Structure 1
Amino acid sequence: MDQRHITDTAPDALRYAPRGAGRRRVHRAGAWAAGLLLAGVSAVVGVRAADRDGITPVPQLLAFLPWLIVPTVAALLLALLARWRTGMVWGVAALGALAWYMEPYGSTSGATGVPVSGVRVLASNVQFGRGTHALIDTITRHDPDIVFVEECDYACQDTLARDSLKTAYPYRRAVRAGGSEGSLILSVFPLKAAPAVAGTMGMPGAVADVRGHAVRLQLVHPMPPLPGQVGVWRTELGRLRGVAAARDGAMIMAGDFNATQDHAAFRRILDAGALRDAARIDGVSRTPSWPSSAPGPLGTQIDHVLVSDGFSAEAVRFLRLAETDHRAVLADLTLRR
């Protein structure tokens, strides 16, 4: 009887023991994968919570902070499958933190004084001048009062100085350079010279006379936070912060910031000059502007029109232009007394 019991049960032991061990290995692997994903997400969220930008690859990942929900949900599912309770709690906490920081940053209030003048602003990065002709079509269609053009090389600037455009926009300030370094401000309003912001790429400034009211204009195009260039990016955004802090009166600061509201260096520009993002005022924060080839809601908003508290924003749109990887920002503003 004892021998029969041994004979009957031995095959079961051989059959089920490996299966249980294999399941444990799968659970262990799932827990490790979940832990690695959550550690990466937590590092980025921690830097955001500390009001810093960190070092590579954190600044690059901060630009896409809302999309960190994807690896976080994947990690949470892995933790559930692995029955890893710590990972489950960690995943829920990470999702909560991401939801908190996805809330758009900055004030939504617009100026409420007596209207002085409507000002339609267009800001466009034409990617080494490739999108120049598409920009001309957009200018013709939407008739902006002030146009900020980044990566406008020699050919781009010469094209925008021809024929009807020269007549429509008789006032301009430019940094003439090739490739990504050239930049241009076009205006229907008279312009006075203002200091350019020092940077690797051109960032001209001007003071516009908007029906008797001085408005400081600043084109923005700092270096992107590429690996090895994060320090340059931070320095150039810091110089723009200095311009915002020193403003005296109305200001429009527009262009390709190469930064989002999740970058501390960008938030400091807003806070230093009491500036507001026109997209935030109009309720379209986080509308992607780059890369324009990304489908649907994918991408990130690095192109902005920032305004001082003398402006309200009635309509902000992000326009697709051919031959450039940025969407243009078109903002209808009202200068108020």
Structure 2
Amino acid sequence: MGRWKTVVAWVIVAPFALWAAVRLSGWDATFRWVQLVSFTPYVAAASVVVPVIALVLRRRAPAVAGAAVVAVFAALLAPRVVPDGEPRAEGPELRVLAANLLFGRTPAADVLRLVRTLDVDVLALSELPSPAKDTLEKAGIGEYLPYSQDGTNETTLYSAYPLKVPGPSPAGAVRAQVEVPGAGGIVEVVAVHTCAPLYPGLDQCWRDSQAALPAATPDGAVRVLAGDFNATLDHATLRAVLATGYRDAAEVRGAALRSTWPADGRPLPGVAIDHVFADRRVAVLGYSVHTLPDSDHRGVFALLRLP
């Protein structure tokens, strides 16, 4: 009986320990793991019962191992729920909203309502095909955000301030310089929409499109990335982008476990794949997630103070 209890305890511990080890390694070389690792917060929550079961079975070594796994997950996820301190930023505010409209299905009136309610300065839209863009402009988006720049893959950047295009944008993105009054220089904003790893073979496009995102330039111009990254903070590719000198607005505000997809009722656990990344010199004063009618994403809003 004792041997049976030991085997059961270790069988329960093993998959959680393996998940934690692979997540720590940063390995994401296979399509299926790219998808699965997004659900790490749920695995972490479930791991709490592992040492409890081991203790009930009176197996000390598996209980200790299970507690160690829980500690690893806690260390990985704690930064997402504990707000960060803020850099000293004394420049103007910049209000950024990013939204995936599911091929333009979100009604223009709802987009405009969010823009007005949040007093948006910069709007990064993805999955906005030409007919939906025409409808949005007829509805009056130009009254609030008169400047715009189109990118590839149906991505558009709207702004309350003049835009300049510094050069080619990465695939699926729009890269533009925003002339924010009082900022003391140019702020570059990139509307992001990377490949989604929906099917085998698309994971390489997913990696390439994230690798193509411009790095932060903490010693140069301020840069902000906003949009549908199709990746969570558990993906090594996304953490590599952050490591260049960005901070995730949701993580800074302790709200990085708030899901943004799916938001259309499908039976999947929610994950956070829509983000606003800001140069580490930028203060994040607020962050919120907003429902987008008829879209499978929620919009993400960040209130920033520029250096």
- Assess same fold via TM > 0.5: yes
**CA distance, structure 1, for counterparts of residue 205 and residue 83 of structure 2:** 28
Corresponding residue for 1:238? 211
Q: Residue 300 and residue 37 in structure 1: after superposition, are their counterparts in 2 closer, same or farther (change >3 A)?
A: farther
Corresponding residue for 1:64? 39
Which of residues 148, 153, 162 in structure 2 aligns to 1:190?
162
**CA distance, structure 2, for counterparts of residue 64 and residue 327 of structure 1:** 18
| TM score, norm. by length of structure 1 | 0.78
**CA distance, structure 1, for counterparts of residue 87 and residue 219 of structure 2:** 17
Q: Residue 143 and residue 312 in structure 1: after superposition, are their counterparts in 2 closer, same or farther (change >3 A)?
A: same
Which of residues 91, 94, 97 in structure 2 aligns to 1:119?
94
Moved more, 322-331 or 41-50: 41-50
**CA distance, structure 2, for counterparts of residue 290 and residue 306 of structure 1:** 18
Q: Residue 121 and residue 271 in structure 1: after superposition, are their counterparts in 2 closer, same or farther (change >3 A)?
A: same
Q: 1:57-104: CA deviations, max 9, x gaps?
A: 332222121210344245445545555544333322221211111122
Q: Using CA pairs below 8 Å that are at least 6 residues apart, which structure has the higher relative contact order?
A: 2
Corresponding residue for 2:24? 49
Corresponding residue for 2:65? 90
Counterpart of 2:243 in 1: which secondary structure?
Answer: helix
Q: 1:76-133: CA deviations, max 9, x gaps?
A: 4554555554433332222121111112269934331432x22111111111211243
Q: Residue 246 and residue 330 in structure 1: after superposition, are their counterparts in 2 closer, same or farther (change >3 A)?
A: closer
Counterpart of 2:164 in 1: which secondary structure?
Answer: strand
Contact 1:255 1:305 (8 Å CA) reproduced: yes
Q: Equivalences for 1:118-157 in 2 at 5 Å? A: 118-133=93-108, 134-157=110-133
Q: CA deviation at 1:264?
A: 1.3
Structure 1 unpaired stretches of 5+: 1-23
Q: CA deviation at 1:35?
A: 4.5
The structure carrying a bigger helix percent of its residues is 1
The alignment status of 1:164 with 2:140, answered yes or no, reads yes
- RMSD (Å) for aligned C-alpha atoms: 2.9
Q: Which amino acid aligns with 1:249?
A: A
Moved more, 70-79 or 52-61: 70-79
Q: Residue 113 and residue 76 in structure 1: after superposition, are their counterparts in 2 closer, same or farther (change >3 A)?
A: closer
Which of residues 218, 230, 245 in structure 1 aligns to 2:190?
218
**CA distance, structure 2, for counterparts of residue 334 and residue 138 of structure 1:** 20
Q: Residue 31 and residue 225 in structure 1: after superposition, are their counterparts in 2 closer, same or farther (change >3 A)?
A: farther
Q: Which amino acid aligns with 2:248?
A: D
Counterpart of 1:213 in 2: which secondary structure?
Answer: coil
**CA distance, structure 1, for counterparts of residue 278 and residue 48 of structure 2:** 37
Corresponding residue for 1:8? none
Q: CA deviation at 1:247?
A: 8.2
Q: 1:141-187: CA deviations, max 9, x gaps?
A: 222010001111122211222252123222111136xxxx3111000
Q: Which amino acid aligns with 1:279?
A: A
Which of residues 257, 260, 271 in structure 2 aligns to 1:286?
257
Contact 2:5 2:59 (8 Å CA) reproduced: no
Corresponding residue for 2:173? 203
**CA distance, structure 1, for counterparts of residue 179 and residue 203 of structure 2:** 36
**CA distance, structure 2, for counterparts of residue 326 and residue 122 of structure 1:** 13
Contact 1:195 1:204 (8 Å CA) reproduced: no
Counterpart of 2:71 in 1: which secondary structure?
Answer: helix
Contact 2:260 2:272 (8 Å CA) reproduced: yes
Q: Residue 333 and residue 67 in structure 1: after superposition, are their counterparts in 2 closer, same or farther (change >3 A)?
A: same
Q: Aligned residue pairs: how many?
A: 300
The alignment status of 1:319 with 2:295, answered yes or no, reads no
The alignment status of 1:267 with 2:243, answered yes or no, reads no
Q: Equivalences for 1:67-82 in 2 at 5 Å? A: 67-76=42-51, 78-80=53-55, 82=57
Percent sequence identity over aligned pairs: 28
Contact 1:183 1:203 (8 Å CA) reproduced: yes
Q: Residue 247 and residue 303 in structure 1: after superposition, are their counterparts in 2 closer, same or farther (change >3 A)?
A: farther
Counterpart of 1:220 in 2: which secondary structure?
Answer: strand
Corresponding residue for 1:9? none
